Amino acid sequence: MKKLFKILGILLIIVVLFAAGGYIYLQAAYPKVSAAPELKIEPTHERLERGKYLANSYAFCIECHSSKDITKFSMPVVPGTEGKGGDNYGEGAGFVPASNITGDKETGLGNWTDGEIFRAITSGVDKEGKFLAPMMPYPLFAKMDKEDLYSIIAYIKTLKPISNKVPEKNLKFPVNLIFRTIPSDVSSFGKRPDGTDKIKLGEYNGVACKFCHSPSDKGEYIPGKEFSGGVEFPMPDGTIIRSSNITPDKETGIGNMTRELFMAKFKSCIDDSALDPKSRGFNTPMAWNFIAKSSTDDDLLAIYEYLMSQNPVNNKVEKITLKGLK
Ligand code: HEC
Ligand code: HEC
């Protein structure tokens, strides 16, 4: 018996040593990302327009990096807070506030080079090379066209500088270790579709839709379940909202939703007076207002075509669990 305990004790020590060694290794070896590229982005008129469009619509930069009015349906951005950051995106992983991405020199990106901003958005490390949590969806942005990314950078540099010191993130174990292994150099970027193929255009613009509407396991979408919904979003009042099934399944998805109805659902959320959550019976993280007021009809319709081209997945989603009922 004594001997057994001794063996177990030794085994335990070995396990602890391995764990400690692994911890030190991960801390020292990651993130593995190259130096920021030398880059000087000319803020041409075309780039500023395109960057403004993307950052305020399908790239969602301004949606995450601003204050939100939680008293209104679909929580629109509070005017005048664009880029100031501070909202927490950590959910189960800890506390991960969105950074201040305005040009403020002390608390924002005022002292970052274009190359450093580009590297942050696509490879997932900050100015000093420290890892960013993937709540900042840099793996998705790494699939965009470089020229679109340059446009976004040119535009965010024109945001009004706001002094707002965002606190440090605080991640739980083991995600604090896992997240530092995700940043990586990007070997090839995406290509912006020319718009003749609507489905391709919808796919390119719809990455964030996929992000919220697809169940995932350990950071990977579950194959065959893309767009089938059910992803949980805790609301500020404790209610849980789940993303809808937006595959063309007729019974549980949007297979019976005409393009007119799809457009109308978005358009009905443009006007401020239509954003009373009480009249709608719930509030939602779905960016109805954000997308509706910025997107062109062409781009939104392309997303509809793209969604309709997906495989229908039968998955009935319970939209709301009220606070206290689980
Ligand atoms: C889903 C929400 C979300 C979206 C969309 C998003 N971000 Fe972020 N971003 C974050 C969070 C959260 C952080 C902080 C991550 C951390 O501290 O590890 C962050 C960090 C950053 C940083 C690093 C700043 C620093 O001081 O370290 C930059 C730069 C940035 N985002 C720019 C952008 C741009 C540009 C876009 C659009 C192309 C964008 N973000 C879209 C949530 C988001
Ligand atoms: C931040 C996460 C998030 C993002 C990003 C997002 N959605 Fe949603 N979406 C939701 C949630 C949660 C719901 C369910 C609550 C509601 O209806 O507002 C929803 C509902 C919907 C519905 C309603 C379906 C029905 O049967 O009524 C449609 C359509 C939809 N989303 C399409 C989209 C499209 C298209 C995009 C990309 C432009 C998108 N969503 C991006 C979270 C998101």
pLDDT at 326: 47
Higher confidence at residue 235 or residue 156? 156
pLDDT at 79: 96
Higher confidence at residue 92 or residue 193? 193
| Other CB atoms within 10 A of residue 247 CB | 24
pLDDT at 297: 97
Q: What is the average per-residue pLDDT within 166-193?
A: 95
Q: How far is the CA of 10 from the centre of ligand 1 (A)?
A: 45
Is pLDDT of 325 > 60? no
Q: How many residues are given for the chain? A: 326
Contact call for residues 227 and 311 (beta carbons, < 8 A): no
Tens digits of residue pLDDT in 40-86: 999 999 999 999 999 999 999 999 999 999 999 999 999 999 999 99
ω before 174 within 30° of 0 (cis)? yes
206 lines ligand 2 (CB under 6 A): yes
Q: How far is the CA of 268 from the centre of ligand 2 (A)?
A: 14
- Give, in order, the Cα–Cα distances in Å from 262 to each of 111, 254, 256, 267, 290: 43, 9, 10, 9, 15
Which long-range contacts does 38-41 make (Cβ < 8 Å, 24+ apart)?
38/115, 39/113, 39/114, 39/115, 39/118, 40/114, 41/114, 41/150, 41/153, 41/154
Is pLDDT of 155 > 60? yes
Is pLDDT of 182 > 50? yes
Nearest CA to ligand 1 atom 41: 61
Is pLDDT of 324 > 70? no
- Angstrom distance (rounded) from CA 86 to CA 98: 5
- Angstrom distance (rounded) from CA 136 to CA 236: 20
List residues near ligand 1 (CB under 6 A).
Answer: 55, 59-61, 64-65, 89, 96, 98-99, 101, 109, 117, 120-121, 126, 132-133, 135-137, 141, 152, 156, 169
- Which atom in ligand 2 lies closest to the alpha carbon of residue 265? 29
pLDDT at 191: 97
Type of residue numbered 31: P
Contact call for residues 314 and 252 (beta carbons, < 8 A): yes
Tens digits of residue pLDDT in 81-90: 999 999 999 9
What's the Rg (C-alpha) of the chain?
22
Give the chain's mean pLDDT. Answer: 93
Instruction: Please name the residues in contact with 307: beta carbons below 8 A apart, sequence gap of 6 or more.
Output: 202, 206, 209, 227, 246, 247, 248, 254
Whole-number percent of the chain with pLDDT over 70? 98
